[in-house]
Structure 1
Amino acid sequence: MRRLFGSVRARATVAATLVVAVVLVAAGTAVVLSLRANLIDRAGADAESAARKVAARLATGTSWNALDLPDDDDEPVQIVDGTGRVRAVSEDLESVSGTGTSGVRPSAGPAPAGGTLDDDAHLSSGEAVIDGDRDTYRWAAIEVKPRESEDDSDTGSGPDTGSGSGSGSDTGSSGGDSEAQAETDDDSDSDSDSGAGSEAEPGGDDDARTFTVFAGAPLDAADSAVRTALTVMLIGLPVLLAVVAAVTWAVTRRALRPVEGIRAELDAITGSRDLARRVPEPATHDEIAALARTTNATLAALQDAVDKQRRFVADASHELRSPIASLRTQLEVGAEHPEFLDLDGAVEDTVRLQHLAADLLLLARLDAGERPPDRPVRLADLVAREAAEHGLRARIEPERADGYEVRGSAPQLGRILGNLLDNARRHARTEVALALRQEGADAVVTVSDDGPGVPPAERDRVFERFVRLDDARTRDEGGAGLGLAIARDAAHRHGGSLAAGERPGGGAEFVLRVPLSG
């Protein structure tokens, strides 16, 4: 199990499934909330339309008995006056909440005298019980106010009774509910007409002639739609996530199949140590194909490095064998016959062996990636010193105040110049030249001779290790074939380059470029 969920395929499947789950849950929640809000708004619009229809009839002065209020569950209606008394309700309405007045039994009162409708509808939510069924409703309240042009004396009250403080309208809240319920109980035993009801009205004539129509629209459709949406989500979400997980697992398995082939081949190469083998490259143009190509390029470079190392070890062993064998022979002869001991030859072989060991050590350090120290070096001084040691006079044009300052290791840069001059002196007929100049941001050193030169086809091969182009030259007269290889590697370590070319007029010319520090 741990290995399974530690794979890229398993992690990709789990990640994709979790992302899809989060997105679907968020989207589903937004859809459900939006659906519920839209359905509630629609129910509010239906309730407002029903309330305006009834209120419009009240505004025309229609009597209570002629209102013909809806008696079904879809549009329950409750009419309350400004004093908090219930004046009319839908038939079979047993209880109500959310309207501010809980009364469901109408009280006797004056007939509506007409009025004007309030432009704003006030929405609220509550419950109603009709024929024993309790449902949730969206209530809309429309107020019908008496016309301002009406004379208060027409209502049958005193001249100053219509100027109440307006506190009667406030009784439509919790306090008004209890008062209205108590007064409803009292009115149930009385046989009052419209004139008697007018005499019992508290709060003034304006309150008695102000009516609020509450009309409700059921929310069961909204609740049912939301429940249906949630059910579909709860059933569909796991199925969809299972499909996403299965598809992701299959796709990643197919996509990662070449990776398994690459891994298996690399494992086989490691076990067999056969660097000539290569991993399979998919016939695609994606990242995995690029990985396979890069892996094969790495294997090729590794094989080339190993082959070079093997040749280097073989050549080094061969080069070391000659001076060691010569030195041993001379010492053995000297031990038996001291008069035949060639001390000069023994010293020469020892020096040659010492130089070869030093070259091999420097090459090993360069192969290990050792970077030269970042120190200022006056290249003009090095050129002048190496020229003097080889009996030459360097040409430096133009002169620079900083002495052609570069960054790096003075011993390694001096080794480059010394190896180039030694190589030129071995091949020159009569002349060796050394010059230093500036080209752009580089210091350029040229070492040339009037010898046979380097053929164009051999100008890259001459820098390989243990390569000597003059096959007729004896080992004693020539070097081990490491001088130019060391010079080029050291030049690269200093950010420069070393190339072989042809001297104008014939001969060989080696060009060293090193970036100036200024």
Structure 2
Amino acid sequence: MRSVRARAALGATLVVAVALVAAGLAVLTVLRGNLTERAGLEAEVAAREVAGQIALGVPYTDLELDDEETHPVQVTDEAGRVVAVSKDLEAVSGTGTDEVAPTSSAPARDDDEADDDDDPARSEVSSGTPDFVNGTATVDGESADYRFAAVEVTTDRDVTLTVHAGAPLAAEQEAVDTVRNAMLTGLPLMLLVVAVVTWMVTRRALRPVEGIRRELAAITASEDLGRRVPEPGSRDEIARLARTTNETLAVLEASVDRQRRFVADASHELRSPIASLRTQLEVGEAHPELLDVPGAVADTVRLQVLAADLLLLARLDAGERPANAVVDLGALVREEVSQRPADRLPPEVSVADPGSYDVVGSRGQLARVVGNLLDNAQRHAESSVAVTVRPDGGEVLVEVTDDGAGVAPAEQDRIFERFVRLDDARSRDDGGAGLGLAIARDVANRHGGTLTVSTAPGGGARFTLRLPVAPVARPEPG
């Protein structure tokens, strides 16, 4: 069953069916209990009426049992012998004995003894709760189910008799059968209504989902990420799903566009050094004396650096996680500066002391960030480049400042985009490929930090790298 509508309709129908069956059984149980209790009350009243006559000394043969067709009566002594029964009682069960005729050996009571009895205190009807039992009785050829009540009575001769009187259960059975038949008839109809209504409601609720599915299928077929799925006007989960889907499509479209631009720009940047290198090699092959070896080496180095940058960006885009090594950022900055003896302007390094400069990450990638920031400062500075490392709360700050023209506020976010070179850095020889700052910010973000640019007090550019301080390892208890 692959349809959500079908599963929802089936599930709702099963739940309602279980609930209705449970409720129906409870109703039938309560109804049967109430009607049985009422029949027992009627039987008790009839039994106490007969017991009252016996207590008053009425002879067994003169007991008034006018309602014997509705309430069959059987009177037994302590030995279980029948002393009196109602008229036309042909068979009985459930009262303790199946006899329906008075036993000759049972204690008799004549009229003279009844007339001479002037001591009513010795006759007593039990006031306790009678015993109830279900049984059957055949009266005048017709058998039926009865609810029997047993009431004890003590005669003036100190003989304990038990009066069994029954009340018919036909009304109870008829009422229960009527309710049961009504439930059996109405249950399928109600379940059918529930299934149909659930199917229609689910179909209406899932109609926007089908629209979303069709539009996504069309987007997949056309590969047009500029299209969007329809958003219903409701504020339910489906509307939120549509909005989330459109947000995902927007992010995917931006990612694909960025990837396309990246490929195009990378191809453009690679084409120039490759073409220049090929030209020099072809000229050198035809005229060895004209081969510009330094130029070919420079183009090869530039090509190698660009390929390394593209490879690092590809790894960053693939979600490569940095290493978990602890790196002393102050020592790293000093090391990077010491390895740049050929810089046009030797950087001034200032590391605040004391301070904790340990961060967690990849030493190679962090060194790449510092190197790229120094390269950028060397490219734009006029007379000085300064590097400062200092703690700032739970972070380590690395600031690289130059006294160049600075970065206009409108360009401060744009310079971190890939292959972006401002107008004063368009030269391929001096401006690079425009990947250094983009790589630096991506690496900073991967390490849980930030890289921003602002205007230095002297008017140049100040790049600020912020990285969280490495957590201090707690010593294990000895």
Contact 1:377 1:407 in 2 (8 A): yes
1:81-160, aligned counterparts within 5 Å? 81-107=77-103, 109-111=108-110, 115-120=123-128, 121-146=130-155
Query: Is there any run of 5+ residues in structure 1 with no aligned partner, and where?
Result: 148-154, 156-205
- In structure 1, which of residues 335, 341, 344 is the aligned counterpart of residue 291 of structure 2? 341
| Residue in structure 1 matched with residue 333 of structure 2 by the alignment | 383
Q: Deviations over 1:76-111 (max 9, x none)?
A: 111122233322211111111111122222346115
Greater shift, 435-444 or 250-259, is seen at: 435-444
1:281 matched to 2:231: yes
Equivalents in 2 of 1:310, 1:103: separation in Å? 105
Equivalents in 2 of 1:23, 1:223: separation in Å? 24
Q: Partner of 2:101: helix, strand, or coil?
A: coil
Query: Is there any run of 5+ residues in structure 2 with no aligned partner, and where?
Result: 341-345, 472-478
Q: Tell me the amino acid that sits aligned with residue 449 of structure 1.
A: D
1:408, CA displacement in angstroms? 1.4
Q: Tell me the amino acid that sits aligned with residue 125 of structure 2.
A: L
Q: Deviations over 1:327-354 (max 9, x none)?
A: 2222222223333322211111111111
Q: Partner of 1:462: helix, strand, or coil?
A: helix
Q: Tell me the amino acid that sits aligned with residue 102 of structure 2.
A: P
Equivalents in 2 of 1:216, 1:473: separation in Å? 113
| Residue in structure 1 matched with residue 476 of structure 2 by the alignment | none
1:119-518, aligned counterparts within 5 Å? 119-120=127-128, 121-146=130-155, 206=158, 209-390=159-340, 391-400=346-355, 403-471=356-424, 473-518=426-471
Q: Partner of 2:320: helix, strand, or coil?
A: coil
- The TM-score normalised by the length of structure 2 is 0.91
Identity of aligned residues (%): 60
1:232, CA displacement in angstroms? 1.1
1:65, CA displacement in angstroms? 4.1
Equivalents in 2 of 1:142, 1:493: separation in Å? 92
Q: Partner of 2:423: helix, strand, or coil?
A: coil
Contact 2:425 2:431 in 1 (8 A): no
Equivalents in 1 of 2:146, 2:349: separation in Å? 107
Q: Partner of 1:225: helix, strand, or coil?
A: helix
Q: Tell me the amino acid that sits aligned with residue 52 of structure 2.
A: A
1:479, CA displacement in angstroms? 1.0
Contact 1:398 1:438 in 2 (8 A): no
Q: Across the two proteins, how many residue pairs are aligned to each other?
A: 453
Equivalents in 2 of 1:24, 1:36: separation in Å? 18
Q: Tell me the amino acid that sits aligned with residue 101 of structure 1.
A: T
Contact 2:394 2:469 in 1 (8 A): yes
Equivalents in 1 of 2:202, 2:80: separation in Å? 71
Q: Tell me the amino acid that sits aligned with residue 119 of structure 1.
A: S
- The TM-score normalised by the length of structure 1 is 0.84
Q: Partner of 1:477: helix, strand, or coil?
A: helix
Q: Deviations over 1:224-255 (max 9, x none)?
A: 11111211111111111100100011011111
Q: Partner of 2:428: helix, strand, or coil?
A: coil
Equivalents in 1 of 2:258, 2:424: separation in Å? 21
Q: Partner of 1:394: helix, strand, or coil?
A: strand
Q: Tell me the amino acid that sits aligned with residue 140 of structure 1.
A: A
Q: Partner of 1:70: helix, strand, or coil?
A: coil
| Residue in structure 2 matched with residue 183 of structure 1 by the alignment | none
1:393, CA displacement in angstroms? 4.1
Q: 1:439 to 1:57 in 2, by over 3 A?
A: farther
Greater shift, 321-330 or 457-466, is seen at: 321-330
